[in-house]
Structure 1
Amino acid sequence: MADVEIVSFGYLHDAPPSAHLTIDLRHHFRDPHVAPELRYLTAMDAPVRAAVLSTPGINELVEATAAAVTAFASGPSAGVVTVADGCAGGRHRAPTFALALAERLTVAGHCVSVRHRDLAKAVVER
Structure 2
Amino acid sequence: MHELAVTESILEIALRHAEGSKATHITDLYLVVGELASIVDDSVQFYWDFVSEGTIAAGATLHFRRVTAQMQCQNCQHTYAPRESLPCPACGSTHCKVIAGEEFYLESIEIDQPAVGETS
User: Normalized against structure 1, the TM-score is what?
Assistant: 0.35
More strand by share: 2
Higher relative contact order, chain-length normalized (CA < 8 Å, sep 6+): 1
